[in-house]
Structure 1
Amino acid sequence: MAEVRTLLTGRGLVESPRWHGDRLYFSDWTAGEVVAVDLDGRSEVVARVQSLPLCTAWTPDGRLLIVSARDGLLVRREADGTLVTYADLGRPGWNDIVVDGRGNAYVNRGDFDPMAGEAFRPGFVHLVTPDGSVREVADDIAFPNGMAVTPDNSTLIVADSYRHCLVAFDIDADGGLSHRRVWADLGEGTPDGICVDAENAVWYADVPHRQCVRVAEGGKVLHTVDLDRGGFACALGGPDGTTLFIVTAEWRGMTETEMVTPGTGQVLATEVEIPGAGWP
């Protein structure tokens, strides 16, 4: 494995890395900012949304969607930087998002607030179609986290952190989900953000085990990148699609006033052999 280099540091709870154009976009949940950084470490804030969680996805026509969890909205960033409502998700608390090649947005959430000490209830996935309609397409995911779509638009993979597995669904013609199955049993692995590569393997970031892991369908571990702090999410990108970006921070816990140690959020990069594919 190539050397791991630091692109950016001094951030808070960093999440949702997405390669677009010639830069990596990520969210700093602590600051309520969406940030773009290039391969030389030059960065700028491209949107501000006071939301926790604060996850993003790019549409096929190149527009940025942002989950405004506090407001229960999916918003779109316009060319002038303003934010407009893309879809009303009905209630607050939404988490991750992925948009497939047809413009279908999948947004997930747990059905309880662990930060408020609520009792556990399993979560679900909703579909937002390009016309803005919203409907539930999957349920009974214990703690839904990162999601990815395979490059042929046929499969949605969801990280279930509490059940330590990756769950897959067939994507139907209307965007609905069917044929639910466990794509990979991760043992003690705790998947957060994920991405897919051109060999149909999945990289997942792991907070408690401080690593980023590449697994094949079924769960065989193919590669591991060890980290010195929690790995929250990962994305493949760069000019050749072979740069693995990992966002990390020192995790304290969901019930802490500061869930990560302030200033410990980092964006890391390392080169891998197999390029990214699919979405994000």
Structure 2
Amino acid sequence: MREHRSAVFSTGHQFLEGLRWHHGKLWASDFFSKTVKTFNADGSYTDVAEVEGSPSGLGFLDDGSVLVVSQMDRTVVRIEPDGTQSVHADFSQYAGGIGNDMIVTGKGDAYVGNFGFALGEEDPKTTRLVHVSADGSVNPVGGEVLFPNGMAITPDRVLLTAQTWRHCITAFDIQEDGSLANERIWAQLDDSVHPDGIALDADGGVWFGNALTLESDSGFYRVVEGGEITDRVAIDGAWSVTCAFGGDDLRTLYMACNVTTLEEFHDGKSTSVVATANVGYKGSPAM
């Protein structure tokens, strides 16, 4: 396994999620400050929107609008270029827990996950992803998944999602109507690993954050189909939550690292930094 070093890029955050690279800038959601942020090349940042229901997954539409998962409301909020906000989709009837990550396709379709249960209060329960059409209509898709988290779409239209509590990356084939078929395990991980946010590189590897640990096994790992771990960026003393490739050449891996515990997370206590690493791979362009 190849090891890579990281460097701190940006500090002063609370709990970052949903990293995305879009139009030359890094974007992120901050759960606890309830803000959507963009970052400059020097690590400084701007709060571009406030989402009262706590923002999570992010995506972008061709007209310049931003889609944001509002966790507590279990909705997808649409932020227009002028800052106006509206509810794009309401998926609450299909969500057993608060909203979570999301990926948006070039056609404006979105796939959204949710916790499936009240984290820390209930035993883990399965849920389903939801497909949000460009017009905002919502349908559950795919099979039962356990704490679906980060998502990526391959060039051949395969949706990959991390199942945090099943310790695996799962694959689905995207159908023409947006539904998901042919569910299979793409990579089974060790039971001690809890994959969170993911990013796809141009060579077909998936980078994932191993969350829920502050120990030496925290870090961002690269796994290939079948489950072989090839690379790691070690992150000590923080949850390794989510990552995205960015930079002009898509060769910088940006990583959200959150210092918290499950107990502190429930109390809204966390500090967060963005780190970077040059891992020798180029990111796969957004689909």
TM-score normalised to structure 2 length: 0.90
1:101 to 1:239, Cα distance in 2 relative to 1, 3 A: same
Contact 2:4 / 2:234 at 8 angstroms: preserved in 1?
no
Question: Which aligned segments of 4 or more residues in structure 1 are displaced greater than 4 angstroms?
Answer: 254-257
With 199-208 and 87-96 compared, the bigger mean Cα shift is at 87-96
In structure 1, distance between residues paired with 2:77 and 2:233: 34
- 48-57 or 13-22, larger mean C-alpha shift: 48-57
**1:235 and 2:235 matched:** no
Partners of 2:33 and 2:177 in 1: CA distance: 37
- For residues 260 and 211 of structure 1, what CA distance do their matches in structure 2 show? 21
Which residue number in structure 2 is paired with residue 245 of structure 1?
A: 254
Aligned with 1:199 (options 196, 203, 216): 203
What percentage of aligned pairs have identical amino acids?
35
Q: Deviations over 1:92-141 (max 9, x none)?
A: 721110012322100011321114x1232112100001122110002321
Q: Is the 8 A contact 1:156 1:170 kept in 2?
A: yes
For the residue of structure 1 that corresponds to 2:166, the secondary structure is coil
Give the residue type in structure 1 aligned to 2:115.
G
CA contact (8 A) 1:148 1:278 kept: no
Residue aligning to 1:70:
72
Q: Please point out which of 56, 59, 76 is paired with 1:57.
A: 59
TM (norm. structure 1) is: 0.92
2:110 is the alignment partner of 1:105: yes
Are 2:40 and 1:24 equivalent residues in the alignment?
A: no
Specify the SS of the correspondent of 1:205. Answer: strand
Cα RMSD, aligned residues only:
1.8
> 2:226: which partner in 1?
218
Partner of 2:273: 266
What is the count of residue pairs matched by the alignment?
276
Distance in 1 of aligned mates of 2:138 and 2:266:
33
Q: What's 1:96 paired with?
A: 101
The corresponding residue for 1:120 is 124
Which whole-Å deviations, capped at 9, do the CAs of 1:152-185 have from their partners, x for residues lacking one?
4x10001001010000000011111000000001
Q: Secondary structure at the match of 1:71?
A: coil
- Equivalent residues of 1:99, 1:106 under 8 A apart: yes
Aligned residues of 1:106 and 1:125 also touching (Cα < 8 A): yes
Deviation at 1:47, TM superposition (A): 0.8
Residue ranges of structure 2 left out of the alignment (5+ in a row): none
Give the distance between the partners of 1:216 and 1:31, measured in 2 at CA. Answer: 35
Q: Which residue of 1 aligns with 2:153?
A: 149
Equivalent position amino acid for 2:158 in 1: T
> Structure 1's 169 and 79: CA in aligned 2 closer, same or farther, altered over 3 A?
same
Q: Structure 1 residue 237: deviation in Å?
A: 1.1
Q: In the alignment, is the contact (CA less than 8 A) between 1:22 and 1:38 conserved in 2?
A: no
| Aligned counterparts of 1:58 and 1:47: Cα–Cα separation in 2 | 14
